[in-house]
Amino acid sequence: MHFAKLHTPSQIQLNQHGHLKHFVTIEGLSKETLTQILDTAETFINENNQLITSPVLEGKTVMNLFFENSTRTRTTFEAAAKRLSANVLNIDIARSSTSKGETLRDTLWNLQAMAADIFVVRHSSSGAAHFIAKDVCPTVAIINAGDGRHAHPTQAMLDMLTIRRETKKSFGELSVAIIGDIKHSRVARSDVAALQTLGCRDIRVIAPNTLLPYGFEEYGSEVRLFNNMDEGVKDCDVIMTLRIQNERIDSPALASQLEFHKMYGLNDARLALAKPDCIVMHPGPMNRGVEITSKIADGSQAVILNQVTNGIAVRMAVLALSMQGQLQEQGLIDSIAL
Ligand code: NCD
């Protein structure tokens, strides 16, 4: 799969007033739109760092459609929708009629007929969310919760919110390292795009060549490749570790997990090469002892559980913003920024 061919035109993501409608990918969205998502997410966190509730989506129906496994993403979307007073339906796809031969189109049209306002979609095929937003149910707001190895835009935004809150620096001042299975990771792809859009000028991708995507050279001059992890993490402010996406790998990309840990696992010696206040991130699920040691995962520099909490705030923001146009037309709100 080629990175450059997967861009989704921004037009399908924005309504005629330039407001977010669908959230399928980071690519094509402006710095202003990404900053609006972050700023809106911050309004859902109070001064004691607690999530607040708001009735902004009262009467709206959010359907969670997860065609692939998930713990954090599905649950935090549900928590986010409930905090906004929306009705939430979790569709059990494994038990739905798609397993009886119904097409995806028919399943979605039926769900749309049940008065869905927002579909949160996770699918193993790259491009699934785009296809649904453009060709199947364009009147329902589609939020991509991960499609194949293509994009995971809400994960990228919760990562950006965590970086902004934990480092207290502007994106232009930061050196960020992303380590591991870049080739199969929709998180890495969306994180690189979000960091670039928000103005980060030093993005280091640390991986063996076997775990780099085709078309990597097209990422842009702010993205540098390091095969050697010690060189890559030197003086970094942020380290993002990633799981090896074994379910998306057909032939062995690595000699073994042990070998990977030796070459690319985050341990104390390597973390000591980064800045003393460097934060350590992981989108989960984590494979302790492979991409990260347990000591670091549970240590004081890890912000992995902050990422989970920030995920609720970001998903509240994206759900609310995707309905902003409709709510404004109905005269129900002036703007989501409360
Ligand atoms: C990621 C995903 O599903 O892409 N996890 C997540 O959403 N928290 C990363 C992964 O599965 O490794």
Nearest to 54 by CA among 45, 65, 63, 62: 45
Counting ligand 1 atoms within 8 A of each CB, the residue from 67, 155, 242 with the most, and so the one to mutate, is: 155
3 within some domain: no
Rounded to whole angstroms, the Cα distance separating 200 from 204 reads: 11
Ligand 1 center from residue 320 Cα (angstroms): 23
3-state secondary structure of 194: helix
288 is written with which tokens?
């302790």
pLDDT at 214: 78
Ligand 1 center from residue 43 Cα (angstroms): 26
**Are β-strands 87-91 and 202-206 bridged in parallel, bridged antiparallel, or unpaired?**
unpaired
16 and 106 part of one domain: yes
Closest ligand 1 atom, residue 185 Cα: 4
52 and 121 part of one domain: yes
43 within some domain: yes
Whether the full predicted model's pTM is greater than 0.85, yes or no, is yes
- What amino acid is encoded at 49 in this protein? N
221 within some domain: yes
| Ligand 1 residue neighbourhood (C-beta within 6 Å) | 72-73, 146, 152, 155, 186-187, 243, 245, 283-285
34 is written with which tokens?
């990404």
pLDDT at 338: 46
241 within some domain: yes
Ligand 1 center from residue 152 Cα (angstroms): 8
293 and 226 part of one domain: yes
Its domain, for residue 53, covers 10-151+309-329
3-state secondary structure of 210: helix
- What amino acid is encoded at 228 in this protein? N
119 and 142 part of one domain: yes
Ligand 1 center from residue 326 Cα (angstroms): 31
pLDDT in tens, 29-88: 999 999 999 999 999 999 999 999 999 999 999 999 999 989 899 999 999 999 999 999
Residue bearing the CA closest to ligand 1, atom 7:
73
The gap from C-alpha 180 to its chain's centroid, in whole angstroms, comes to 17
Closest ligand 1 atom, residue 73 Cα: 7
Rounded to the nearest 10°, the torsion over CA 102, 104, 107, 111 is 180
336 within some domain: no
| Strand arrangement, sheet containing 118-123 | 87-91, 61-66, 118-123, 141-147
pLDDT in tens, 206-235: 999 989 887 777 888 899 999 999 999 999
Residue bearing the CA closest to ligand 1, atom 12:
243
- DSSP letter (8 states) at residue 134: I
Ligand 1 center from residue 283 Cα (angstroms): 6
Rounded to whole angstroms, the Cα distance separating 277 from 280 reads: 10
What is the overall mean pLDDT for the chain?
Answer: 91
249 and 186 part of one domain: yes
pLDDT at 121: 96
Ligand 1 center from residue 187 Cα (angstroms): 7
Ligand 1 center from residue 207 Cα (angstroms): 18
Phi first, then psi, for residue 183 (nearest 5°) are: -60, -45
294 and 319 part of one domain: no
259 and 320 part of one domain: no
Counting ligand 1 atoms within 8 A of each CB, the residue from 69, 70, 187 with the most, and so the one to mutate, is: 187
Low-confidence spans in the chain with pLDDT less than 50: 1-7, 338
Closest ligand 1 atom, residue 122 Cα: 3
How many folded domains does the chain comprise?
A: 2
Alpha helices, H only, 168-256: 186-197, 229-233
Rounded to whole angstroms, the Cα distance separating 153 from 187 reads: 8
112 and 248 part of one domain: no
17 and 104 part of one domain: yes
Rounded to whole angstroms, the Cα distance separating 308 from 306 reads: 5
- DSSP letter (8 states) at residue 201: -
Closest ligand 1 atom, residue 72 Cα: 8
137 and 194 part of one domain: no
Closest ligand 1 atom, residue 71 Cα: 8
37 within some domain: yes
5 within some domain: no
pLDDT at 217: 76
102 and 195 part of one domain: no
335 within some domain: no
Contact of 66 with 144, CB cutoff 8 Å: no
CATH number at residue 56: 3.40.50.1370
Closest ligand 1 atom, residue 187 Cα: 4
Rounded to whole angstroms, the Cα distance separating 219 from 182 reads: 12
115 and 196 part of one domain: no
